[in-house]
Structure 1
Amino acid sequence: MPVKYQLRNAILSCIQSGVDPLGDIQGRGEAKADLLRALLSGANPFLISREGTGKTRLANSIAKLLPPVPSIKGCPYHDDPFWPKEWLCPRCRGVEDPINEFGVEIIDGMDRFSRIQGNEYTNYAKILGLKDIEAIRDGISPTDPRSFTGTGVFRGNRGIVFVDELPSIPTNVQVLFHPILEEGIVVLDEYNLHHPVDIILIATGNPEGFAHVNRVPRPLLDRLEMIHLGMPDEDVERLIVIRERFEPKEDYFRREETRHNHPDMNITSEFSRNRIAVPWWVLDLIVKTVGYTRTCKNFESGASIRGGIKALDHAISSAEMRGARVVRLADATKGLKLALRGRTTIIPDLIGFEEDEGVIFKRIDRVIEDLVRFALTRIADETLNHLAIDPMTLKEAVINGDPGVRLSKRVKEMGEGVGEVDPGSSEWKYALIEFLANILALKGVLSENEVSKRFFVPQVFVDERRRGLKGYK
């Protein structure tokens, strides 16, 4: 059965069972619906989205839907045992009975998933294949199909070929996909060979890329269905950041049966990152700050979802380095600086030109910290509105250094954090008092100078080169 029909059956079976076929991808309902329409129609999707939006995960999810199929054992092209001989690869075609010679194996969808990374160096060899020097050395003619080793498309035969950043591939190379999508064949003129392939092509492109890199030829674009995969909303992004955070698994490096032989390699609960509690306000601060990099006028380009994932990882690591069990605002700020330096581009006017790199890095960090402060201001507004408590009551709790059971419970119930949360611990109380003190400082109820003597307070960015330039939202 052709791979497009296999995928149709798998998708429809999920729908009839009430299961989301693309459950690994959270949010983006409209884009997922368009993608399913395209796949059910036997079309090839072209996903337009920014980096870090889950394109690769989405392609993997589609590959996982494919059912296991029989294949001639060891065949690099995943030849079907029931195919006619002229459809087989040179290796399988070169013997009288390939089933008897090599045997049959069952391969799943991920075994038939091939990724081609598009860039200016992507060429014929990466998409189709290259000459096998060993075969030529053994006396096989360079024009004999047996001297050809298939790569990208052939490795995805009977499955998914994922072409990441299609527009980045030179136009004269992109045309190699025309006969594949139109007729289901790979044309190898040098070998006088037209080889059938059975694939679903999933391509991606950056929305900014069409203005800066090679365009996709119209005949090729006419064979693709363009789908916009946007950024998820804040709540969904929060869930993704939590789910994708770094947490070593005990069986990550070895099989279960070998674990007892290497007790020193076991990852004990003592060092599990789940021990570290991340309060909801810290998690919100990370997600909001990363989100604002995409809309703030002082950022030429913002961070992807991956920026939030790594910022959370780094914040937890900062707490571990302090020997602490609760992540604080300072940990989150340090994590955001580390995660966003290379994932964002700040406008040159704020960074400066031809200066010492140390100065530039410090200025980048200060701009990021200012954005953290801006995000914290928004969280402060939401918190005060939700709690509906007189700020003077909060001021008393901060001055006394004790939020009390009732206030602690109300704040904790405002959101879900990460890790082992103990609202009664001294660390948790300190983190909460720090958060409340920042709220009151931002609202002018407490002196920021006084608060900063006891707690971390993110600072406003002031460009010393331009008098009076503060804040930039």
Structure 2
Amino acid sequence: MTRPAIATVGELRASGHVQRSLRGEIRDNLLSALREGRDPWPGLHGFDATVIPQLERALLAGHDIVLLGERGQGKTRLLRTMNGLLDEWSPVIEGSELGEHPFEPITATSIRRAVQFGDDLPITWRHRDARYAEKLATPDTSVADLIGDVDPMKVAEGRSLGDPETIHFGLIPRSHRGIVAINELPDLAERIQVAMLNVMEERDIQIRGYVLRLPLDVLVVASANPEDYTNRGRIITPLKDRFGAEIRTHYPTELADEVAIIRQESDLVADVPDYLVEILARFTRALRESSAVDQRSGVSARFAIAGAETIAAAAIHRATRQGEEHAVARPVDLETAVDVLGGKIEFESGEEGREDEILDHLLRTATAETVRAHLRGVDLAALTTAIETGVMITTGEQVTAREFLTGLPPLGESDLYDVVCERLDATNDGQRAGAIELALEGLYLMRKISKESGGGETIYG
């Protein structure tokens, strides 16, 4: 949809345009999407039966909303998706500081211009993206940032301090007829939270000695970490009471949703097969369930996303140095991911010194579960027998797929290699090497063969 051509309030009125409140606009658009079977929440996974229904009910009720959840649960993404419920284009008075509707000017300047120009009052059109504002709450955030303050430059121009036009409006008033999102709300100093009370309930603003009765039409949404909520900071009770809905988010409950998030959010510079993404997803979920990990801080989805990006980087690094045609991540690259991701996890105090051991154990567990899921029913005895004759199979982060495949022992009439590759949709050399590496790792985890690692090489024997 292109920007409408209507340029004056008279033309807008003649077009039959109907003014709606912000909450009415969101409600109508949400109901329309539900009626037509369109997904109003693209890119969100794992919330369909829990968070989304609560959120939709809150929006239909016209409530301000606070989302509570651990880090990396998609709170910010959920907030940013809300602007999709706004009209694509909305009329505003041209030059208006607060983006007022042409039918309802609320500031002294806009009211004066509306009287002066009448039906010739110029208007412009604002895209929905410009009607969503976001602020990361930090301890140094001021009342002036959120609400506003007296502008000394306007006073210097000759206006008196009693003139309301000397006020410079903050983020919330400037979000009039839009959505304002405040991330990590408990980090706001309590006196700053107090300044939001009137905006949230009475919909007016108080700046120093002024009380401006501006009928602000703004939806306030916020996010908070429950741990911060109770310790590092808190949402003061009167402000908490003004939020109509408090919704708890969570990590994905289904493995498929975890995999979908990794695929969607990661920027991969090489081919990362599905089974490796699944190992990272299982690894992340195991960390969230481990008693050795501090679950109060959570294990963010960004952990697995960074893991996928790291093993893709390892693959393209190998392909570039060794001249491989296809950059494909392989199980051997998982070790490089663990080396750099350990710092993203907070362990319980009693586990000091065992961090690497815990990570290695949980990664092996995740790998074993993935092997069982994909290679169940495949008889790997021919490969075990070949290795028992004394054959050593070498792989490593700088061993090319062709070198690895060339070093595999012949299995006589067995088509085991083809069966494994077919199960894992492996076609080119890189994918075939990764698939067979996974089978070898499965045999090692089942204690059918041994493995030695060191100096960038891994030897199965």
Instruction: Tell me the TM-score normalised to structure 1 length.
Output: 0.78
1:194-215 Cα offsets, whole Å, 9 max, x none, are 3221011112111212220343
- The Cα shift of 1:319 comes to 1.0
1:181-231 Cα offsets, whole Å, 9 max, x none, are 222222335234232210111121112122203432333322321111111
| Matched letter for residue 290 of structure 1 | T
What is the aligned partner in structure 2 of residue 299 from structure 1? 293
Query: Aligned ranges for residues 285-434 of structure 1 at < 5 Å?
Result: 285-300=279-294, 301-323=297-319, 324=324, 325-341=327-343, 343-351=344-352, 367-384=358-375, 387-396=376-385, 400-401=408-409, 403-412=416-425, 423-434=426-437
- The Cα shift of 1:47 comes to 1.0
Taking structure 1 as reference, are residues 435 and 166 closer, same or farther at Cα in structure 2, changes over 3 Å only? same
- The Cα shift of 1:236 comes to 0.6
Alpha-carbon distance in 1 for matches of 2:143, 2:456: 63
The farther-off stretch of 15-24 and 237-246 is 15-24
Alpha-carbon distance in 1 for matches of 2:168, 2:117: 18
Asked whether the 8 Å contact 1:167–1:215 carries over to 2, the reply is yes
What is the aligned partner in structure 2 of residue 126 from structure 1? 145
What is the aligned partner in structure 1 of residue 234 from structure 2? 215
What is the aligned partner in structure 2 of residue 462 from structure 1? none
Residue aligned with 2:424, SS? helix
Taking structure 1 as reference, are residues 396 and 194 closer, same or farther at Cα in structure 2, changes over 3 Å only? farther
Asked whether the 8 Å contact 1:76–1:154 carries over to 2, the reply is no
Structure 2 runs not aligned, ≥5 long: 1-19, 392-407, 411-415
Question: Which has the larger Rg?
Answer: 2
Taking structure 1 as reference, are residues 436 and 182 closer, same or farther at Cα in structure 2, changes over 3 Å only? same
What is the aligned partner in structure 1 of residue 262 from structure 2? 241
What is the aligned partner in structure 2 of residue 23 from structure 1? 42
What is the aligned partner in structure 1 of residue 246 from structure 2? 226
- The Cα shift of 1:444 comes to 0.6
What is the aligned partner in structure 1 of residue 110 from structure 2? 92
Alpha-carbon distance in 1 for matches of 2:454, 2:439: 10
Asked whether the 8 Å contact 2:43–2:264 carries over to 1, the reply is no
Taking structure 1 as reference, are residues 13 and 397 closer, same or farther at Cα in structure 2, changes over 3 Å only? farther
- The Cα shift of 1:405 comes to 2.1
Residue aligned with 1:195, SS? coil
Root mean square deviation of aligned Cα? 2.8
Asked whether the 8 Å contact 2:271–2:328 carries over to 1, the reply is yes
Asked whether the 8 Å contact 1:165–1:203 carries over to 2, the reply is yes
In the alignment of these two chains, the number of paired residues is 404
Query: Aligned ranges for residues 121-270 of structure 1 at < 5 Å?
Result: 121-224=140-243, 225-233=245-253, 234-246=255-267
Asked whether the 8 Å contact 1:51–1:206 carries over to 2, the reply is yes
Residue aligned with 1:115, SS? strand
- The Cα shift of 1:11 comes to 0.4
The farther-off stretch of 215-224 and 196-205 is 215-224
| Matched letter for residue 345 of structure 1 | E
- The Cα shift of 1:382 comes to 3.0
Instruction: Tell me the TM-score normalised to structure 2 length.
Output: 0.79
- The Cα shift of 1:291 comes to 2.2
Alpha-carbon distance in 2 for matches of 1:5, 1:411: 50
| Matched letter for residue 322 of structure 1 | R
Alpha-carbon distance in 1 for matches of 2:240, 2:62: 16
Alpha-carbon distance in 2 for matches of 1:202, 1:456: 54
